[in-house]
Structure 1
């Protein structure tokens, strides 16, 4: 490895140049509703690790700063993506990908609760936990879904470039099945407002877009779910939304699959991109890679399991406290938020802030 001088540089550019000192004030000014909600989320089967914990911490730290500096009514809303595919429940039949969702299979959510509880205690910001049902029960949801379906001929190719189809799906209602056409390839849309879905084992089943009960069955791929969520938040009369997510969702992805297709982007919620935690190669730290391929063995060997295991991190003396203090410093000096951080750098900073490994 290349030896370095341990001097940290923060070259200004893009967001760090324009918001190097007054990010929190700018965010507060952009939120013109009485209440502010910081949205964070994750798949319930994706155990917390240093990367997504950094994203959660950024949301709580920004919320705390807005409350302290501008007396804003803030909360954190954590929404599980329980419509994501369940592991080992995908199959290809006649060239079509089918899957079962986490919601259908059920999953454990406890590790996230422990992390969120600690961050709430440290920041003094309250939070609550929801599933995708939260969006389905929103009064704006039916109208948003119908408008998206009406634009399917143009939206499909734009946000699903591999298939050209809207990524709408519904699990087969046959007892014990739950299979769904992952990409909505075989969906049929009817003039009477029905959508026909296809199960390779049990045939056709239908959703009536005029039925609130039927609408609860719908699931969406990631770009479409993001679009629908943004459209719903755009219509919220009481709350200004700030969507806090990892910066791997920034750039071309968001520009092409969201912003370019919004009819009224001025009403859209703010999307704030938290710094990524990068491994030695510059790739983001990923729990799913660790689980699937046994990656990051070198972190175990170096006694740094805490980076990929939330329980180890929470058991480390002053572990979560050190991270919160570090991220609070990023918020205090916003130019530090518009970049990513290596695992080596964060390990050094957490140790300097008093973390002691078990």
Structure 2
């Protein structure tokens, strides 16, 4: 059967054992019953240890319990070196990411040197709102914490960078940067979803208040992030009704409803409808038709109205007046569009109001919303709606979005809170006591310090090329393990040095 050794075997002993085995193809089969079986197939040449450590997989037959073959657990031996190769955005944003954001927001001075500008006679104050968001249907997991941390740390970085440019000398208008956590309390309560005759009905968290048990974790997390950023950044928390109270929302919805057939096909290709809904007004009901398949739109008397349908109480009608709009519920693509256009209108209007403050908006969200999601479901729609919404503007202040790196599982897929909440996924993390990454409340129970995540995200903002990649669960568990060692502060994984110049690298090099 080969050599048998216990888990007390040191890494150097393991290497010596492997080196002593005349094999270039080794399968290492581990059992967590205090024994390790090493199976070797003799080959004429000695093994390549570097290749083995980087490429060979280990099959774990059990982790504290007997498992069927279909429940096998796997791990990989690697060198612990983290690479940050340049590509796409990281080629452009390698150093001063804050300057780039200020430029896109139209807050960077028009002259080459801001300190050469004359002081404003009556500088109008500026306010930048950094938006982060969440559906509070569970305690925030590490991926959400990464996004929140990035929002706070970018806000602080922009504030400091603006001051360095002259914002604290009077040569630039004063700028206040704040963070807004926009809670999506209209998200469906998965326990209150019903399907009948091919139509899905739901009750939202706003209606059931199921999110109440998780809100303290969000409040605590925001407070800890505020403390981590030295209380330099103020924060607020909003709900869906706060967005829908904006004076720009009726106009935005009016334009969208007038084009709802086309927009429905593009925002909801499976249902061909925009997912606009309203809870049934009958006391104690609150059911809404989820995808808007049965909605009817009317345009008489100058104010559009929408007839919604309840599973139990039939149709009910709402018009585009503020009292009704505040009760509307929007699915994610529609909400993203409505919010983005409303923020654009807010920026345009406040820049023209000489007596008030200028307002700007920056969104920080997960990297899974980058790419085709924003291209087709957001920017494409802005282009189509532009003439109707902004007839007077020749140049639009398009929304600026920062994408947080994703936290991925072993396969490269995003660590999903919905799978964890609904289907009990990631059992292997629980078996290894690494499920603190799945829940802030669990992180507290296990005595893990969330500042490990905050410090790591802070290092990305200081070295922006690190923002343009994803990070695995294994990467972060390594940081937490380092933090747990006595007298050792958590640090990022060592970074590989650039490859030396050689002719074979010319093909892959870029100017």
Q: TM-score range by the shorter chain?
A: over 0.9
String of CA shifts for 1:318-344, please: whole Å, max 9, x gaps: 722222111111000000001100011
In structure 2, distance between residues paired with 1:18 and 1:298: 38
CA drift of 1:353 comes to 5.0
**TM-score calculated relative to the size of structure 1:** 0.95
- Say whether residues 1:189 and 2:297 are aligned partners: yes
In structure 1, distance between residues paired with 2:287 and 2:448: 44
In structure 2, distance between residues paired with 1:49 and 1:129: 18
Question: Larger deviation: 42-51 or 334-343?
Answer: 42-51
- Say whether residues 1:45 and 2:137 are aligned partners: yes
401, 405, 422: which one aligns with 1:275 = 405
Secondary structure of the structure 2 residue equivalent to 1:164: coil
String of CA shifts for 1:288-347, please: whole Å, max 9, x gaps: 212222222222222222111202324666722222111111000000001100011112
2:342 corresponds in structure 1 to: 232
In structure 2, distance between residues paired with 1:59 and 1:290: 24
Question: Larger deviation: 108-117 or 302-311?
Answer: 302-311
Confirm or deny: 8 A CA contact 1:47 1:287 kept in the other structure. Answer: no
Confirm or deny: 8 A CA contact 1:319 1:355 kept in the other structure. Answer: no
182, 187, 208: which one aligns with 1:79 = 182
String of CA shifts for 1:127-168, please: whole Å, max 9, x gaps: 111101111111111111111111112111011101111111
1:31 corresponds in structure 2 to: 105
Higher RCO, 1 or 2 (CA under 8 Å, sep at least 6)? 1
1:134 corresponds in structure 2 to: 242
- Say whether residues 1:10 and 2:10 are aligned partners: no
Q: Which has the larger radius of gyration?
A: 2
1:296 corresponds in structure 2 to: 426
155, 158, 171: which one aligns with 1:66 = 158
180, 192, 206: which one aligns with 1:89 = 192
1:213 corresponds in structure 2 to: 323
In structure 2, distance between residues paired with 1:182 and 1:281: 32
1:114 corresponds in structure 2 to: 220
Gaps of 5+ in 1: none
Assess, with a 3 A threshold, how the Cα gap between structure 1 residues 73 and 351 changes in structure 2: closer, same or farther: farther
Secondary structure of the structure 1 residue equivalent to 2:461: helix
**Aligned positions, number:** 355
Confirm or deny: 8 A CA contact 2:186 2:240 kept in the other structure. Answer: yes
271, 288, 291: which one aligns with 1:180 = 288
2:380 corresponds in structure 1 to: 260
2:370 corresponds in structure 1 to: 250
Question: Larger deviation: 75-84 or 88-97?
Answer: 88-97
Question: Larger deviation: 262-271 or 173-182?
Answer: 262-271
Confirm or deny: 8 A CA contact 1:196 1:207 kept in the other structure. Answer: yes
Provide the aligned C-alpha RMSD in A: 1.7
**TM-score calculated relative to the size of structure 2:** 0.67
Question: Larger deviation: 281-290 or 226-235?
Answer: 281-290
Assess, with a 3 A threshold, how the Cα gap between structure 1 residues 259 and 177 changes in structure 2: closer, same or farther: same
